């Protein structure tokens, strides 16, 4: 019986190196008993397999990559010469809005924080742009959509063919999982559509293949969504900045680690700073060099 032991995450300056276990899919690890108390505390809140210190280091590294220059520099816009200022005279005078915008020293981060605070307080988004005016329009639109959806659903319930319509709407295609993403009211209105439009229910189109004789292997193309659904989708307001960010990948592939010196697979880990290296050659170079711990942590993951 072999035993897998996790390398301690402590950052005390222990000399030497150790093989780094591949985390992620390792089933032996899933069965491992709960590790020490300290690790539990460090991992609290993150839920992942990395400590909060590592998470911070990664965040800092990504922020580094987002910079325009390595150092902070102030590059002032050159002062306009009088001649050009004179040329500007033909234009209308600078309005207060323009002056406010030009003098604003806010960064994107500031604006984003403002926006998120506004969303949290319920007045964010474009609707909140002009107070109740915009919001009421949106709310009104939402109500009317809801009302229509409800009505359509009611007719659906009364009509004789709900079961068949609903059945036709959910083909046995392999893409079934994706329907779950469409929100419930959307699905409802979609189902109600044929009745509301007084059209015959659309038949799913058979995708031609050599297996069509086998009822289990037949696959149908999902029907094209009706126009009204599309209009409604097009009329939706944009998502917020944070909501539109891509989510973590669905496939739980374990993370890859690279050698901090040469970029090859990182197979062993320095015990003092968690940087990975590929071989003892690279490890020795790493040991001799004095690379900052910050960068080391970020790259080790």
Partner 1 sequence: MVAAKARAPPRTPATPIQPVETSRYLPDKTFVIDNGAYMIKAGYASHASASDESVSACSSIPNALVRTRDNKIVIGAQLATVNDWNEAMFRRPVEKGYVVNWEAEREIWDQSFFDGKVTARNRNHHIADPEDTTLVLTEAPNALPILQRHADEMVMEEWGFGGYARCLGPTLNAWNEIHSLFGDPLSNTSDASILPADCLLVVDSGYSHTTVTPVYKGQALQRGIRRLDLGGKHLTNYLKEIVSMRQYNMVDESYIMNEVKEAVCYVSNDFSGDLEQAWKSRRKRQSGPEEGIVLDYVLPDPNANKKGFIRPHDPLLHAKKKKGAVSGLSAEVLSEDVLVLGNERFTVPELLFTPGDIGMKSAGIPDMILQSLSVLPTGLHSAFLANVLVVGGNALIPGFMERLETELRQIASAECVVRVRRAKDPVHSTWLGGTRLAANREELSKVSITRQEYQEYGSGWAVRRFAGLV
Tell me how many residues contact partner 1 (CB under 8 A): 104
Nearer to partner 1, 30 or 250 (CB): 250
User: Applying CB under 8 A, does 256 fall inside the site for partner 1?
Assistant: yes
User: Applying CB under 8 A, does 21 fall inside the site for partner 1?
Assistant: no
Judged by CB under 8 A, which stretch of 4-12, 30-38, 107-115, 151-159 contacts partner 1?
A: 107-115
User: Applying CB under 8 A, does 142 fall inside the site for partner 1?
Assistant: no
Nearest-10 crossing angle of helices 184-197, 132-158? 60
How far apart, in whole angstroms, are the C-alpha atoms of residue 116 and residue 279?
Answer: 46
Nearer to partner 1, 5 or 84 (CB): 84
The Cα angle at residue 94 between residues 91 and 97, in degrees rounded to 5: 135
Phi, psi dihedrals of residue 162, rounded to the nearest 5°: -60, -40
How far apart, in whole angstroms, are the C-alpha atoms of residue 275 and residue 260?
Answer: 7
The Cα angle at residue 286 between residues 285 and 287, in degrees rounded to 5: 90
User: Applying CB under 8 A, does 137 fall inside the site for partner 1?
Assistant: yes
Residues in CB range of 235: below 8 A, 6 or more apart:
141
Q: Residue 197 is encoded by which pair of tokens?
A: 């439009």
DSSP type of residue 126: T
| x/- letters, 51..90, toward partner 1 (CB under 8 A) | ---x---x--xx-xxxxxxxx-x-xxxx-----x--x---
Site residues (CB under 8 A) for partner 1, limited to 216-235: 219, 221-225, 229-230, 233-235
Which of 73, 54, 50 is CA-nearest to residue 62? 54
Nearer to partner 1, 1 or 246 (CB): 246
Judged by CB under 8 A, which stretch of 12-20, 34-42, 159-167, 259-267 contacts partner 1?
A: 259-267
User: Applying CB under 8 A, does 143 fall inside the site for partner 1?
Assistant: no
User: Applying CB under 8 A, does 12 fall inside the site for partner 1?
Assistant: no
């Amino acid at each position: 019986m072999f035993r897998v032991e996790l390398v301690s995450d402590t950052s005390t300056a222990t000399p030497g190196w150790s093989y780094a276990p591949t985390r992620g899919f390792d089933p032996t690890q899933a069965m491992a008993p709960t590790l020490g108390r300290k690790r539990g505390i460090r991992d609290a809140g993150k839920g992942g397999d990395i400590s909060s210190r590592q998470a911070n280091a990664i965040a800092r590294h990504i922020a580094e990559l987002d910079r325009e220059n390595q150092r902070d520099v102030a590059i002032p816009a050159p002062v306009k010469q009088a001649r050009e200022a004179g040329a500007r005279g033909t234009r209308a005078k600078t309005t207060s809005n323009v002056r406010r915008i030009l003098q604003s020293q806010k960064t994107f981060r500031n604006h984003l924080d403002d926006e998120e605070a506004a969303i949290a307080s319920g007045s964010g988004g474009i609707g909140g742009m002009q107070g109740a005016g915009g919001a009421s329009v949106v709310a009104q639109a939402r109500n009317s959509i809801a009302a229509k959806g409800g009505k359509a659903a009611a007719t659906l319930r009364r009509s004789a063919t709900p079961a068949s319509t609903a059945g036709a709407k959910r083909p046995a295609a392999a893409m079934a999982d994706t329907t779950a993403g469409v929100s419930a009211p959307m699905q409802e209105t979609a189902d109600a559509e044929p009745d509301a439009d007084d059209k015959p229910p659309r038949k799913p189109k058979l995708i031609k293949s050599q297996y069509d004789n086998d009822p289990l292997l037949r696959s149908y193309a999902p029907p094209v969504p009706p126009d009204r659904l599309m209009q409604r989708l097009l009329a939706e307001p944009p998502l917020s900045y944070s909501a539109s960010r891509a989510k973590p990948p669905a496939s739980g592939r374990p993370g890859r680690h690279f050698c901090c010196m040469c970029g090859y697979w990182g197979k062993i880990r320095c015990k003092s700073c968690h940087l990975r290296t590929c071989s003892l050659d690279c490890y020795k170079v790493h040991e001799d060099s004095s690379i900052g711990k910050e960068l080391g942590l970020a790259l080790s993951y």
